[in-house]
Chain A
Amino acid sequence: MSYAAAETAPVAAGHYQATEVTKTFGSVSVLRGVSLTLRPGRIHTMMGENGAGKSTLFKILSGLLRPTTGELRLDGAPVAFSAPHDAHQRGIYLVPQEPALMPELTVAETMFVGQLPTRAGFPRRVDWPGLRRQAQQALSSLGLAIDVGQLARHLSIAQQQQVECAKALLRGCRIILFDEPTSPLTSHEVERLFGIMRRLRDDGCTLGFISHRMDEVLDISDDISVLRDGALVDTVDRSGFDRVRLLSQMVGREMRVIPRRTASFSTGRPMLQVEGLAHAPRFHDVGFTLHEGEVLGLAGLVGAGRTEIAETIFGIRTPDAGHVRLGGDEITGLAPHAIIRRGLVYVPEDRARHGAILPMTITENITSGLLDRLRQRFGLIDRNDEDRTGAAIVTQYRVRCAGIDQPLRQLSGGNQQKVVFGKWMGLQPRVAILDEPTRGVDVGAKDEIYELIEELAKAGLAILVISSEMEELVRLCDRVLSIYEGRIVAEIEGADITPARVGQSYLSRDGLAA
């Protein structure tokens, strides 16, 4: 960035500056030359879509990761950390979204892990009264009334975050980074956290913050940096806050007309009917109809309950109430194998854990869903038939590989995903639920996945797409349902599906009214 050079001169304590920081994992580039400065007495927020690189940046700033290239400067002097501990010693502390306090230790003990205060003498003994006193002081200095004698496992996530803040102060850290702390919190808990953050700011601490939620970002921030695809788009201070502009910067390419498919799904027969589906406490009273050839999107924040809805429809979870009908047949409460047989398939979000078996070969993954349909002799798989099936899918879905017997783990994310698609489409299902279909897929392969989805919809498949990428929803969907805290809060159709409108619709319980 242009102003980076101007700040090489010594600056006041608490200035933390990143210059041209890049980070690559293997061949995937996650951060691309990000430069910004966190300043004392200010709350600096990173905004951006999932995968924009916000968390990676914070991990680098807090010593969890090392930058591939680029430089960090603390008050003008270059710093490099090999572990979070180094960063703590330089006064930098990261409060994770879900702190992992040791559950069987008391709150006071967790705050002093690794540096218990001791009394002089031999053998050196832990100064328990002093430890409790210091822990309690640190918490009260933040206006918190948490009993330091209780076990950490009794704390809520919100309280654990608060303890982490106190821990940062105890370690003398004055630069505190919050990695998306508010997403697991209730609105009341968010207010409390913001109270603490403001107190720290007014005290002269340097604060970094990550959030997707526009309202709270505009409320708490002094500076906002927008990241997109690993690059810094813009940094603005309070005078430059503009909701619409920030949104378009986050989503990007707003001016470009995103190619949208135009399907006439309304003529299609209803394929999947969901009524009053509930699974407390994750989602309540979810109802919608998905038609033949339609692509229906589920938009929402991470944790809004979208994956849980999909898993309940697919039979992984049992609903508390409600009905699911597939082509008119009741499938509520059936197990996955029975639901798959009736023509509904689910491509899970977490490919490595749920979607595929990475050490097995491409062919074995493809045929894993249709073993019963392979030609068999005395229960033995006809390997020629299996190879033909695998090769056919590999060709049809344009999987780039060295051979059909290559272990799936050797393929790129995009090609792995194509194999998973092929595995399910080989069954010729009537309904497909795609959970984050381009997660971990590089930019080039994304377009191929989109084309695949469009082809399948054209052929009559009813598709439910869960996505946290607005561009993806805009490109693919005929209709979008917005989920907020487990409820459908908005339905957007046709030309109304724009990044701004979708992006705003799931940020509050009022849907588009906000």
Chain B
Amino acid sequence: MADPSNPGRNEVTARRRNAARLPLDGWERSLLVLLVLLVAGLCLSVDGFYPGFAGFLALTENFLPFGLVALGLTTVILTGGIDLSVGATAGLSAIVMAELWSGLHVSIWLAAVVGLLAGGVLGAVNGLIITRLRTEPLIATLATSFIYASIATALAGPSPPAGFPDAFNLIGTGTLIGPIPLQLVLFSVLALLFTLLLQYSTFGRRIVMVGYSSEAARYSGLRIDRIVLSAYVISGVMSAFAGIVLAAYYSAVRPDMGDVLLLSTITIVVLGGVSIFGGEGTIAGVVIAVLLLGFLRQGMLIAGYSDMVTTMLTGAILLGAIAIKNILSGRGTGLAALLTRIRGRRPATTGSAAE
């Protein structure tokens, strides 16, 4: 069956792995260019945005908790699911930690570990509801977000604990090796770990397979339920971690402290190029999106714009970015498919097939 007219075959072994699976490899690069332009623009035009290197880096402390949640949420979205309980999980985990510390006089460090475990348990509850009860992730995590938030409010009481030990507060505000915020170090290490986990490990490969097609993954002998469950556990732990970092940053907890996390992190993940239908996306894209939206927000606030304006701008950027992505790729979040449908479905014609 040798076919000399086909030169491709002999080169097969020589070909290096390329970005064929990620047709939007350029997406991360475009985001990066945008980030550099944005930061440069803000440095030049907004007084106080660059008060020196240390001050500039310290800005990240305001938004890195979003990044922590985004890492976990990316795992879930890659499987084709969604976790709407990230905010409630962050709030409840932080409250659990704070109550253990103030009420039961447990060491704050041990309490923090229990808080992380609590996040894992809350994530496992989400995962079990989704896999065992065959519930839509959207509905399941919406419901648990209400439940988690109510439990947090009940646990917190009228005056939630505050004034944690200084050593603990350093997680949110401390620096390492000179001016580098501890938060930034933690986020960088975790981002690297998630990159390895999701893009280079067998676990990550399975996550992506489930995200592209859980049916095909099942016929390939993957244990879908296990994989999906672990994604929600990871999301729960990362949310709890974000809640604990926020607690350390403010040296206080509130049951609703996680509420701001949800919509912003979904924005980050989608802007980072992760397909809401699962399978497609990179941690690099998400990390760049964290920095892009974070610096934008901080810059606008420093320049004196109200929160309303920055939020509006965030919405506009999200819409614009996704529209561009869909127009360029012809697929992705499904908007493009909708557009072609609106334009009128044409039956396939001879020879025009691009594939």
Number of interface residues of A (CB under 8 A): 57
Residues 194-218 of A at the B interface (beta carbon under 8 Å): none
CA distance A404 to B219 in the complex (A): 22
Among the listed stretches A253-261, A324-332, A394-402, A488-496, which one makes contact with chain B, having 4 or more residues with CB under 8 Å of it?
Answer: A394-402
Name 11 extra pairs, CB < 8 A, besides A360-B21, A376-B202: A24-B350, A25-B348, A27-B351, A357-B279, A383-B17, A395-B9, A399-B9, A400-B8, A403-B8, A403-B18, A448-B1
Q: Look across to chain B and name the residue whose beta carbon is closest to the beta carbon of A369.
A: B220
CB distance from A186 to the nearest CB of B (A): 30
Known A66-B347, A379-B202; judge A357-B17 contact (CB<8 A).
no
Q: Which residues of B contact A367 (CB under 8 A)?
A: 205
Decide if A406 touches B216 in the complex (CB within 8 Å).
no
Q: Look across to chain B and name the residue whose beta carbon is closest to the beta carbon of A339.
A: B221
Interface centre among A25, A68, A316, A371 (most CB of B within 10 A): A371
Decide if B15 touches A403 in the complex (CB within 8 Å).
yes
Known A68-B350, A369-B221, A391-B13; judge A407-B20 contact (CB<8 A).
yes
Decide if B8 touches A402 in the complex (CB within 8 Å).
yes
Q: Which residues of B contact A140 (CB under 8 A)?
A: none
CA distance A376 to B11 in the complex (A): 25
CA distance A361 to B22 in the complex (A): 10
Q: Look across to chain B and name the residue whose beta carbon is closest to the beta carbon of A400.
A: B6
- Residue B29 interfacial (CB < 8 Å): no
Residues 187-205 of B at the A interface (beta carbon under 8 Å): 196, 200-203, 205
Known A24-B350, A357-B212, A407-B20; judge A337-B223 contact (CB<8 A).
yes
Decide if B216 touches A354 in the complex (CB within 8 Å).
yes
- Residue A422 interfacial (CB < 8 Å): no
- Residue B322 interfacial (CB < 8 Å): no
Decide if B3 touches A400 in the complex (CB within 8 Å).
yes
28 A-B residue contacts at CB 8 Å?
Answer: A24-B350, A27-B351, A27-B353, A68-B349, A336-B219, A337-B223, A353-B215, A354-B219, A357-B212, A359-B212, A360-B21, A360-B209, A360-B279, A367-B205, A368-B220, A380-B201, A381-B201, A387-B17, A388-B13, A395-B9, A400-B9, A401-B9, A403-B8, A403-B11, A404-B15, A405-B17, A405-B18, A451-B1
- Residue A146 interfacial (CB < 8 Å): no
Residues 314-365 of A at the B interface (beta carbon under 8 Å): 316, 335-337, 339-341, 346, 348, 353-357, 359-361, 363-364
Q: Which residues of A contact B213 (CB under 8 A)?
A: 353, 357
- Residue A65 interfacial (CB < 8 Å): yes
CA distance A346 to B219 in the complex (A): 8
Residues 243-301 of B at the A interface (beta carbon under 8 Å): 279-280
Contact of A65 among B6, B8, B205, B347 (CB under 8 A): B347
- Residue B229 interfacial (CB < 8 Å): no
CA distance A81 to B41 in the complex (A): 57
Interface residues on B, range: 35 or more
Contact mask for chain B residues 1-34; partner A; CB cutoff 8 A; 1 contact, 0 none: 1010010110111011110110000000000000
Q: Look across to chain A and name the residue whose beta carbon is closest to the beta carbon of B222.
A: A337
Q: Which residues of B contact A388 (CB under 8 A)?
A: 13
- Residue B336 interfacial (CB < 8 Å): no
Residues 389-424 of A at the B interface (beta carbon under 8 Å): 391, 394-395, 398-407, 409-410, 423
CB distance from B132 to the nearest CB of A (A): 15
CB distance from A500 to the nearest CB of B (A): 32
Contact of A381 among B11, B21, B202, B221 (CB under 8 A): B202
CA distance A157 to B223 in the complex (A): 36
- Residue A425 interfacial (CB < 8 Å): no
Decide if B21 touches A407 in the complex (CB within 8 Å).
yes
Decide if A401 touches B17 in the complex (CB within 8 Å).
no
Q: Which residues of A contact B21 (CB under 8 A)?
A: 359-361, 364, 405, 407
- Residue B325 interfacial (CB < 8 Å): no
Q: Look across to chain B and name the residue whose beta carbon is closest to the beta carbon of A398.
A: B1
Q: Which residues of A contact B349 (CB under 8 A)?
A: 68
Q: Which residues of A contact B18 (CB under 8 A)?
A: 403, 405
Contact of B355 among A339, A354, A391, A410 (CB under 8 A): A410
CA distance A498 to B139 in the complex (A): 55
